Each structure stands twice: as C-alpha cells, then as structure tokens.
Chain A
Amino acid sequence: MKELKVQPIKDGTVIDHITPGNALKVLKILGIKEGANSVISIAMNVAGKRGRKDIVKIENRELDSKEVDKIALIAPDATINIIRDYEVVEKHRVSIPDEIVGIVRCPNPNCITNSREPIKSKFVVVSRKPLKIRCYYCGREPDMEKIESMIE
C-alpha cells in the first residue's frame, strides 16, 4: 500500500523541490518560528522524480512571492505552490532578488556589518548563473559554496 508521508493541505503554501537538508534553513530565512500560528509540515530527503528533495507545507498562509524568493540562495530549484481548497492556484519557481538584505552575514570579519553599527547586511547580486553576490558595504564576494553557513 502506498503510504502518504505528508498529507495534502486545504489552504496555504507548499514549497517543493528544496535542496535536500535545507528545509529548516528555509523556515529560518522565511522567519517562521516555533510560535507561528500555522500548522507546518516538513518532509526531508523525500524521493522525487529529480532525486531527493525537502518539502515544506504551511497551512492557512499564502506566502508573498518576493518574500519567498529569498530562499533561492539555498534552494535555487524550489517551487512555490499556493493552495486553495486543495487546488494549486499559483505555481512558480523562486528567483533571486536583486538585493539580499539581512539574510547573509558577510564573511569578512572586518566588514562594518559585523560590528555593532545599526545596519543590516546587504548583498548585491552580481550574476545569477553562476550565482555571485557582493557585499554592498565592503565589496567582498563570498564563496558561494559556503553560503549556507553564512545565513544569519
């Protein structure tokens, strides 16, 4: 008998095709914390048509696409599905915003954003494929292979 690991949701948002192992980081980037009102289901390392993936389902909340685009940094293949009454009413792939504010910590210890100044980190996207970002303040381009460890 086929076992359904994660139940379909009636209303809300499903983030599919997340790079395996990154579901919790996705929640962190989206600012969804323990006290959230929505029911959240997470599936990790699920076998899909294109290999393993993570899935996040957030019930009764439709995420704004701009907000969700931030996760493209760590889950570039993720898709966002907006669900209403069990139907997918909107579906799109994440795309990197032009500026990434307050998400990535600059790896340069001497960057002003790593001091106690009242500013948020800010990166400008230099190229999308391959993804390259540059610190707006110190100008350093971090090693994208280590991007996960730089998420604030």
Chain B
Amino acid sequence: MNFKGRDIVSIRDFTKEEIIHILNVAEKMFPIAKGEEKSELLHGYIMASLFFEPSTRTRLSFEAAMKRLGGSVIGFAQPGTTSVMKGETLADTIRTAESYCDVIVMRHPMEGSARMAAEFASVPIINGGDGAGHHPTQCLLDLFTIRKEIGSIEGKKIALVGDLKYGRTVHSLAYALALFKAEMIFIAPEQLQMPKEVVDECMKLGVEPEIANDITNIEDIDVLYVTRIQKERFPDPEEYNKVAGSYRIDMNLLKNAKDELIVMHPLPRVDEISPEVDKTKHAAYFRQTFNGVPVRMALLALVLGVVK
C-alpha cells in the first residue's frame, strides 16, 4: 500500500483496507502523540497549515502532530494577514505555499476547495474541512476512537444523534461506518433527519439503518455519536429550544446505558451533552479530540512517504 504523494480530500477516496492501514499506523503513533516517546520521523519536512476559516482542534492537532514527529510548520490561522485579502485566488495561494513546503493542510469555507487545491498542487493536500463538504481526518479519528474504545467497529450498534441533515461530515461518517458493517440508528427530529441518499448509500453497502425521532431505548447502544443542532436551522426559537432539549445527553438518559457505552462528539458542543457526563467513563469526546493527533501523524507520515 503506497500513500506517498496522495491527497486526503474525501473519505470516499479510500478503500476499507486503506482506512484500516491508516488506523493501524495511527495506533503505532499513539505513544509519540502522548509525548511518551520522542520521534524525529519527519525531521526536515515542512507542513503548511492554511486555515481560511476558524478552527481549534483540527489546526492545533495537525500542528502538534507535525511537531511531535520532528517536523516544522508554517502557515496562517486567518486569511486576514495574507494576500487573500488583496483578492488572490486560492489556486495562486496554493501554488505559492507549495513552493515553501512538503505537504499542505487546509481549511476553506467553500465546498470542493480541497479537491481544486489538489489539482493545482504537486505536494499532497490534506483537507481539514471544506465548508459544509468533507472532513476526512475527522471521520478517520472517529473510526479510530470507536475501534480504540470498544475494540471494533463491525457489528457495533452506533447511534448518530442530532442534526443529521446538514452536517456532511456525519454523512461521510455514516458511509464509513456502513463500509465497516456497523449497525446504525439515525436519531433526529424529522426536519433534521438523514437525507435519503445517505440512507440509500448505506443500504448499497449492505447496512440497513434504523430511523428514529427520539432517544429512548439506549440499553443496547455501544456508541452515542452526538452532533450539534444549530439554532439557525429553526425559524422559531421556541421550537429550537424544544427540539434541542429533547436530544440532550444527561445522567438521566445514561442510567439505562450499558457500562461500555461511549458518548462521542466532534466538538464544539453547546448544550447537547450535560457537563455532568464529562466525569463519567462514558465521556469519550475529549479522548476523541486527542485521537486527532495520532491519526493526523499517521496521515502526514504516510503521504510524505516516510511510513509505508
């Protein structure tokens, strides 16, 4: 399997075997990500981190990943300080940045921007989120987290909860989980339910997701994957409060959960998970956030051809 020079634009560009390989490499990176082992694997390599949109976790974890492996980072966290403000196109910004680095990580508000960047750049492009489009490294770290926390993905019962309609990252996750033959339940209010194309895509992969409007029986669920319900999706703020309230994960809901159940969230969260859940062993979301580091280390090492 050779990842050298490959772009990471969408999870759909990878086979199940390739995804497993990335997760296996990430597993080996884990102690380095923790700081328990030192590494100079990417010494002499430069990563450009081009963030045209705000980010906390993606940007910081990519930079941490590169530095933990002995590499260097250049870039910007907001386009306000660059020639983008003078009207420079993304295509020109990418062709400029690539002459200074070995790999580019980017986040951009427009969908398809990473795909376009990959066409212009000769160095690998890693998509750190393109608007409402893809966010493949989030998907990979989610898969890594499930595997690490509960041992496997196949056959596990995974509930995707919240706004399943607009967040395309949750669509990619559903696709990837179907690829791994997980059992899925899509729990969302009617107006935010998973689009039919995504359900159809899962069916094509041999997984028939269960559709539900309420979180009721959680006894046999292994993973509760919670997403943020955005206020702006509701014309009536009272309707939002009602809906958001009924999808809140709290101690009362978790009293029927099995011991091994984990709660995941891509973060940032607003009110979806009560802070009291943070102290329970169910709360996997901060470990999930950390897992961004070994997964991104694996991707950097793979696309730079330092790890096969």
On A, residues with C-beta under 8 Å from B are: 108, 110-113, 115-119, 135-141
Min distance, Cβ A116 to any Cβ of chain B, angstroms: 6
Q: Which 4 A-B pairs have the closest CB atoms?
A: A137-B112, A138-B111, A138-B112, A112-B112
On B, residues with C-beta under 8 Å from A are: 10, 89-91, 108-113, 115-116, 119, 130-134, 168, 197
Residues of A within 8 A of B89 (CB): 115-118
A119 pairs with B119, CB closer than 8 A: yes
A110 pairs with B197, CB closer than 8 A: no
B116 pairs with A110, CB closer than 8 A: no
Residues of A within 8 A of B110 (CB): 110-112, 115
Q: How far is the CA of A75 from the CA of B113 in the complex (A)?
A: 32
A139 pairs with B197, CB closer than 8 A: no
A111 pairs with B112, CB closer than 8 A: yes
A139 pairs with B112, CB closer than 8 A: yes
With beta carbons under 8 angstroms apart, the residue of A111, A117, A118, A141 that contacts B111 is A111
B134 pairs with A119, CB closer than 8 A: no
Min distance, Cβ A87 to any Cβ of chain B, angstroms: 45
B113 pairs with A112, CB closer than 8 A: yes
Min distance, Cβ A110 to any Cβ of chain B, angstroms: 5
Min distance, Cβ B131 to any Cβ of chain A, angstroms: 5
User: What are 17 contact pairs spanning A and B, CB under 8 A?
Assistant: A110-B110, A110-B111, A111-B110, A112-B110, A112-B116, A115-B110, A117-B91, A118-B89, A118-B91, A119-B116, A135-B112, A136-B112, A136-B115, A137-B111, A138-B111, A138-B112, A141-B197
Q: By DSSP majority rule, is chain A's interface helix, strand, loop, or mixed?
A: loop
Q: How far is the CA of A118 from the CA of B117 in the complex (A)?
A: 11
Residues of A within 8 A of B113 (CB): 112, 137
Q: How far is the CA of A20 from the CA of B131 in the complex (A)?
A: 39
Residues of A within 8 A of B111 (CB): 108, 110-112, 137-140
Q: How far is the CA of A25 from the CA of B108 in the complex (A)?
A: 35
Min distance, Cβ A120 to any Cβ of chain B, angstroms: 11
Identity of the chain B residue whose Cβ is nearest the Cβ of A114 in the assembled complex = B110
Residues of A within 8 A of B112 (CB): 111-113, 135-139
Q: How far is the CA of A32 from the CA of B108 in the complex (A)?
A: 37
Identity of the chain A residue whose Cβ is nearest the Cβ of B112 in the assembled complex = A137
Residues of A within 8 A of B108 (CB): 112
Residues of B within 8 A of A135 (CB): 112
Residues of A within 8 A of B115 (CB): 112, 136-137
Identity of the chain A residue whose Cβ is nearest the Cβ of B111 in the assembled complex = A138
Residues of A within 8 A of B131 (CB): 110
With beta carbons under 8 angstroms apart, the residue of A108, A117, A140, A141 that contacts B116 is A117
Residues of B within 8 A of A137 (CB): 111-113, 115-116
Q: For the A-B complex with A115-B110, A139-B133 known, give 12 more contacts whose Cβ atoms are closer than 8 Å.
A: A108-B111, A111-B111, A111-B112, A112-B115, A116-B89, A117-B91, A136-B112, A138-B112, A138-B133, A139-B111, A139-B168, A140-B111
Min distance, Cβ A89 to any Cβ of chain B, angstroms: 40
